[in-house]
Structure 1
Amino acid sequence: MSDVQQILADLVAFPSVCRTPNGAIVAYVREHLARHGIAAQIIPGPEGDRSNLFATLGPREVPGYILSAHLDVVPAPAAGWTGDPFRLRRAGDRLIGRGAVDMKGFVACLLATLPEIGRDLQRPLHIALSYDEEVGCVGVRHLIARLPEFCAPPLGCIVGEPSDLHPVLRHKGKVAGRLIVRGRAGHSSRPDLAENAVHHAADLVGLVRDLHERLSREGPFHPAFEPPASTLQVGVIAGGTSVNVVPDQCAIDWEARAIPGTDPMALHAALEEAIAAWLAPLQAEGRPVQVESEVLSGYPALDLPDHADLRAMAEDLSGREARGAVSFGTEAGLYQAAGIPAIICGPGSIAQAHKPDEFIAAADLDACCAMLRRLAARLR
């Protein structure tokens, strides 16, 4: 294996699944940086068993660029895999393993090129590695909050999510929530004496669908996206214990994807308003129906202007034209919300992520390493 492939194999071997401790992989990265004389800041999260990592190549006191990635991966259930998900293997040009493309491939490129990209920089490169990105961009928030302690205000951020090395300017924002409907249990032979929470939950699913359809008809619209409007959908519904028991509880997990210019929380507020209007007449009749609402996760949209300097730089470095928008979300919107221009540009295809036998092509790693060398040369 080449150096970058060996480092990727090392990284894949850490089963750093989201919502689990990540101390081992953080220690590996920290030790790798230390061997090249680079000190890393470890930024623990409130969970107590997960941390972010931040390191600087070059002078900290002048503005530079952040290279951002996450160390967590989605789970890898056995079904569909043709080998151990946490042991990198090669099939032709494909390097197969959980996280190979999303997004340990980019991290491997960063670590493999350290001896070259860290030399004689007049402006710094910052390495920012986060945890629990896959469950709502959780860890990076704590890292971003502490950036003023670690470096001068950055000029920009490149988030190395898989984009076939095409710079990406925009993605939708997101909010995910849970609704818990509470009614009154009873025997199914006397539903008139109970309050069926699953039936009421079906009405709330209809409210989510209705709001989605209204946005699809009326907008606002953004032509860079497919679909061009904000969206809502229900992903999980769970309630009841037996067919002969009227259920007293039902939970609904839903999400909204908001185009740039629409606050995801505004969609949450619109849904809560519709639920309140639906619930009011039931409670006025004295019926024991309640709805609890919880926000599970969320992040803002990314919306880098077409004329941004960061776009021109990323196109020059990657040698590939920018793409207007992608459908998946990233940490880039959070960097932008913090006042740091951000763009997505990383190796491999998102089409290979989150599936059995996830892979990245060896040639994609080589192309990303070349891009990082060009970035470092620009900053010397």
Structure 2
Amino acid sequence: MQAAEILEKLVGFRSVVGLPNEDIVAWIRGYLENNGVAVVVLPGPESDRSNIFATIGPKEAHGYILSGHMDVVPAAELGWTSDPFRLRAEAGRLHGRGTTDMKGFLAAALAAVPRLVNKPLLRPLHLAFSYDEEAGCRGVPHMIARLPELCATPLGAIIGEPSGLRAIRAHKGKAAARLTVKGRSGHSSRPDQGLNAVHAITGVLTCAVGEADRLARGPFDHLFQPPYSSLQIGTMKGGQAVNIIPDACEAEFEARAISGVDPGELLAPVRAAAEALSERGFEVEWQELSSYPPLSLGPDAPLARLLEELTGLEPLPAVSYGTEAGLFQRAGVDAIICGPGEIGRAHKPDEFILVDELLACQAMIERLGERCLA
């Protein structure tokens, strides 16, 4: 099958983040097995979502991972001019949810499989397709934890997020959490008889704003824009009516960390301020929503040099968004970002990828296969 045909199949699966993905997993597994590729389906703890790991070539040798996620963000936003889950071709563009982020990379990798399986590879290529990346990289850690039993230590992992097929060596890390504060309701005329959760949470919000201001003063890493770690309050809700003491309030916080900084630690002062509310009689719940570390790969790393040779382009030093690459690096596997399409098209109506971009990515993967012959 051609890459565009495979992409049409993949887009047709409504593999929205947080939902079951058995159908897309089954199709990919069948396609790979029909091409003689060994496949392992790795169910996650949710029981209705799975990762896929497949190996082309000798499992016992050190090779490379081609990594991508099967999930997509929802497509309920206004502005779509066609069914988001039905591929539409127009003037060299292929429109549909996930075409750029990042089923295009999956399609290019799968399209390369028939040629790769016919090569006498001395080093393997592994396909590592994950779930729920769009929820903060929730699926891939379960697969990474099982890498020692799935393959020999990889030489590197290529994460095919849209980058214009230009490698990227670094990105920020991220941590997000939800705080729920519960007090006691009552009539607003008797505030002495209630516990106002909205009033209580304002101290935590003030702490978060103060931490955000502090982080903006450094430390700095000028590879990133902005060149510092950041923290923000993303959402807040609470209360029922102006004459009712609000008995519950909820806020969500996000931190993004430059290289060398633990994003979880950036939220620690906010969590401490929240947990202090329990001393005043409030019930406090702090729930981690997502967390992944920064990526930092040196310019002289073998993987960076390899991608420069494969693409003909010097790798970019850094981007401010995050990917699964940092998780591979934390597990001891060098990682780099390189995939077809442009990140600016992602998560938008009429998302698209160019046919030429698909073909260029497939060609890059096949060139990587040629490197694995020696």
Figure out how many residues of one structure are paired with residues of the other and give that number. Answer: 372
1:183 paired with 2:183, answer yes
Please list the CA deviations of residues 198-253 of structure 1 after superposition, one character each: whole Å capped at 9, or x if unmatched. 12223322211110110101x11111001111111111111112222110110101
The alignment status of 1:353 with 2:340, answered yes or no, reads no
Distance across 2 between alignment mates of 1:331 and 1:16: 18
AA in 2 matched with 1:141: P
Deviation at 1:369, TM superposition (A): 1.1
For 1:300, which of 284, 293, 306 is the aligned residue? 293
2:149 paired with 1:149: yes
Q: Distance in 2 between matches of 1:203 and 1:92?
A: 54
Aligned to 1:138: 138
Q: How far does residue 139 in structure 1 lie from its aligned partner after superposition?
A: 1.2
Decide whether the 8 Å contact of 2:54 with 2:126 is kept in 1. Answer: yes
Counterpart for residue 266 of structure 1? 265
SS at match of 1:234: strand
Q: C-alpha separation between the residues in 1 aligned to 2:141 and 2:77?
A: 32
Deviation of the 1:111 alpha carbon: 0.9
Shift of 1:303: 0.7
- Preserved contact between residue 207 and residue 275 of structure 1 (Cα < 8 Å): no
* Matching residue of 2:32: 33
**Conserved in 1, the CA contact under 8 Å of 2:204 and 2:270?**
no
Distance in 1 (alpha carbons) for counterparts of 2:248 and 2:347: 32
Amino acid at match of 2:359: D
In 2, are the aligned partners of 1:235 and 1:255 still within 8 Å (CA)?
yes
| 2:204 maps to 1:204 | yes
Partner of 2:88: 89
Runs of 5+ in structure 2 lacking a partner?
none
The amino acid that maps onto 1:216 is: A
**Normalising to structure 1: TM-score of the pair?**
0.95
Give the partner amino acid of 1:166.
R
Change (3 A) 1:276 1:131: closer
Shift of 1:91: 2.2
Identity percentage of aligned residues? 54
Counterpart secondary structure, 1:110:
helix
Of 72-81 and 45-54, the range deviating more from structure 2: 72-81
Tell me which stretches of 4 or more aligned residues in structure 1 moved more than 6 Å.
none
Check the 8 A contact 1:117/1:372 in 2, yes or no: no
Relative to the length of structure 2, the TM-score reads 0.96
Match of 2:235, SS state, is strand
Instruction: State which drifts further: 143-152 or 195-204.
Output: 195-204
1:116 Cα shift? 1.5
2:160 pairs with 1:160: yes
Deviation at 1:183, TM superposition (A): 2.2
1:278-301 Cα shifts (integer Å, max 9, x gaps): x48xx4xxx433433221111111
Query: What is the one-letter code of the residue matched to 2:197?
Result: A
Q: What is the aligned partner in structure 2 of residue 121 from structure 1? A: 121
Q: What residue number does 2:16 align with?
A: 17
Q: Distance in 1 between matches of 2:350 and 2:108?
A: 21
Q: Provide the rounded CA distance (Å) in 1 between the counterparts of 2:351 and 2:81.
A: 11
SS in 1 for 2:358: helix
Q: Is the 8 A contact 1:11 1:25 kept in 2?
A: yes
Of stretches 174-183 and 95-104 in structure 1, the one that deviates more from structure 2 is 174-183
Alignment map for 1:185-264 (pairs within 5 Å): 185-217=185-217, 219-264=218-263
Contact 1:208 1:233 in 2 (8 A): yes
Measure, in 1, the Cα distance between the counterparts of 2:66 and 2:274: 42
**1:379 maps to which residue?**
372
Q: Are 1:368 and 2:357 an aligned pair?
A: no
The equivalent of 1:76 in structure 2 is: 75
How far does residue 274 in structure 1 lie from its aligned partner after superposition? 4.1
CA distance in structure 2 between the aligned counterparts of 1:272 and 1:132, rounded to whole angstroms = 25
Runs (5+) with no aligned partner, structure 1: none
> Do structure 1's residue 329 and structure 2's residue 343 form an aligned pair?
no
Residues of 2 paired with 1:70 and 1:193: CA distance? 51
**Match for 2:243: what amino acid?**
N
